Amino acid sequence: MYADSFFGVIFSFGLVCAILFIVICIPLWLILHYSRSKRAHRILAREDREELQRLEDHAEELSERVDTLEKILDHSAPRWRRTQTERE
């Protein structure tokens, strides 16, 4: 008789703990986890945008350099465009 009530109390206590864990801990953990991952995603997105802007600026600088080199070649070797076209 004592054993039945002892195990009944232990089982009830374990069941209450499990229910409290499911109702309180798991939702709290999920909320904190996804809010943190969303924040990390925003930070990465900002870093990606900054990197993209840096690469765009660099590409524009390189384009200006190519234009300058083409002008120099047009002046010093006017036929360079024809020889390039013939090779292709």
Q: Examine residue 25 and state whether it is found in any structural domain, yes or no.
A: yes
Q: What is the pLDDT of residue 48?
A: 86
The alpha carbons of the chain give a radius of gyration, in whole angstroms, of: 35
Q: Examine residue 2 and state whether it is found in any structural domain, yes or no.
A: no
Burial of 73: CB neighbours in 10 Å, binned 0-12, 13-18, 19+: middle
- The per-residue pLDDT string of the chain (88 residues; one tens digit each, 9 = 90 and over) reads 445 676 666 678 888 888 989 999 999 999 998 888 887 777 778 888 899 999 999 999 999 999 999 999 999 988 888 866 666 6
Burial 43-61 (b: 16+ CB within 10 A, else e): eeeeeeeeeeeeeeeeeee
39-63 tens-digit pLDDT: 777 777 888 889 999 999 999 999 9
Domain that holds residue 53: 20-87
- Count: domains in the chain: 1
Q: Examine residue 31 and state whether it is found in any structural domain, yes or no.
A: yes
Q: Examine residue 46 and state whether it is found in any structural domain, yes or no.
A: yes
